Amino acid sequence: MLSPEQELIDILRDCGVDMACTLPCYGIRDLLVLLAEAYRTAPLHYIPLTREEEGVGICAGAALAGRRPAMFFQNSGIGNMLNALLSLTGFYQLPLALFISHRGVYKEKIAAQVPMGEKVPGILRGAGIPHSVISTREELIGIRKKLDALYRKGTIHAFLLSPAVWETGGECRVPVLPETKGRPVCSFPAPVQGKGMKPHLTRYEILETIAPFLEGKAVVCNIGAPAKELFHLGNRPSYFYMLGSMGMATPLGLGLSLSTEREVVVIDGDGSILMNPGSLATAAYCSPENLTLLAVDNGAYGSTGNQPTFSGSCVDLERVAQGFGIRSTGKTAGKEQLIAAMKERNTGLRFIHCLAVPGNRDVPNITLHHLDIKKQVQEFLAGAPTAEE
């Protein structure tokens, strides 16, 4: 007889779920072990996360490319991802299945788990996110129909998994993460070059410089002024403009790069990266061959009044990227350096730390409807084959 964990995994695979993004929880420990084993080979993906919010972004990028992603985490994580669920996944009508270990209700031994456990159904209702409570093993079968519906309609559905479901399970085993293309996950980087470099270009001038190199590539552009400036320089059907969910550009680009053979360029910012720095670790672990992260660093939150970020005083984003395990990095401060970096054709994950002068170009708002933004990118991707490792 199958364990309930294996029964759920069989349902997932029968319904075409091809990406599993996970965070640890004791309540679903055996399920996470089996997921790591079942989703370790292409075209499936198993992605361990550093934070729930980045998982929303990764899954959004994968769904944009036509995949069927799912997340597995503890209910405490709802508080870390609610804005992204509403302003990214729900806003762009991208499908996502949430499998939530429902702590704090059934035989809970840790008092701190109780407040969120009791309130999470109401939080989901208040956010307009449909949910199902799975209290017994027999109720697992109902997941199949709801999975088919959410992927077909482009919606979110949360499955609250009671610990009672797994009571017939066996002993926990230690999970082994899939290797990243046979290479060590982390290594000590070379020293950062370019100490004392001074920026010469504004963000708009940087975007103007790199625009010719974006032709034929899928581009994810950071929220606010960067997206408006890129749109003003000339819309392309390959451009996905972030209109909400600050900090989600790099995760979304990562999910997209794992789901297409197209080259993917993320235009991110220092404030956005500092909001979700763990995404760089996840990117280093996944190590897609077709992803370039362009960090436009003006030392300020440019879209909200140029309040300073820590990159203007005590943080070197290139060192941050290297410390998280990204091997191919570079720093630019002027036009020639930027052009040389964009022309470089080495394969593998790249991080370009692009120093910039603070300031925004006065340009109009993006006139495209947000669903038209999604549509144009999906049509662009339609001719690209699905990535297989």
Interatomic CA distance for residues 64 and 176, integer angstroms: 29
Closest by CA to 368, choosing from 220, 251, 243, is: 243
Q: What is the pLDDT of residue 313?
A: 85
Interatomic CA distance for residues 101 and 114, integer angstroms: 13
Q: What is the pLDDT of residue 194?
A: 53
Interatomic CA distance for residues 222 and 249, integer angstroms: 6
Q: Name 28's Cβ contacts closer than 8 Å, sequence gap at least 6.
A: 72, 74, 99, 101, 161, 166
In sequence order, what DSSP letters do the residues of 26-75 get, joined into one string?
GGGHHHHHHHHHHTSSTT-EEEE-S-HHHHHHHHHHHHHTT--EEEEEEG
Interatomic CA distance for residues 121 and 306, integer angstroms: 39
Interatomic CA distance for residues 221 and 250, integer angstroms: 9
Q: Name 201's Cβ contacts closer than 8 Å, sequence gap at least 6.
A: 209, 333, 334, 335, 338, 356, 357
Asked if residue 148 lies in contact with residue 157, where contact means CB atoms within 8 angstroms, the answer is: no
Asked if residue 328 lies in contact with residue 269, where contact means CB atoms within 8 angstroms, the answer is: no
CB atoms within 10 A of CB 364: 8
Q: What is the pLDDT of residue 121?
A: 97
Closest by CA to 249, choosing from 174, 303, 172, is: 303
Q: What is the pTM of this model?
A: 0.92
- Cis, bond preceding 277 (omega within 30 deg of 0): no
Residue 225 has which token pair? 């002024």
pLDDT (tens, 9 = 90+) of the chain, 389 residues, equals 789 999 999 999 999 999 999 999 999 999 999 999 999 887 899 999 999 999 999 999 999 999 999 999 999 999 999 999 999 999 999 999 999 999 999 999 999 999 999 999 999 999 999 999 999 999 999 999 999 999 999 999 999 999 999 986 544 454 555 554 444 444 444 445 555 688 899 999 999 999 999 999 999 999 999 999 999 999 999 999 999 899 999 999 999 999 999 999 999 999 999 999 999 999 999 999 999 999 999 988 777 776 888 888 889 999 999 999 999 999 999 999 999 999 987 779 999 999 999 989 999 999 999 999 999 999 999 985 444 43
Q: Hunting for tokens 């720095």 — which residue is that?
A: 277
Q: Would strands 19-22 and 69-74 be described as parallel, antiparallel, or unpaired?
A: parallel
Interatomic CA distance for residues 379 and 99, integer angstroms: 30
Alpha helix (H) ranges present in the chain?
4-14, 29-38, 52-64, 78-84, 114-126, 143-153, 203-210, 225-232, 249-257, 270-275, 278-286, 317-323, 335-343, 370-381
**Domains of the chain, CATH where assigned:** 4-166 (3.40.50.970), 203-381 (3.40.50.970)
Distance of CA 79 to CAs 91, 133, 266, 345, Å? Answer: 18, 18, 26, 40
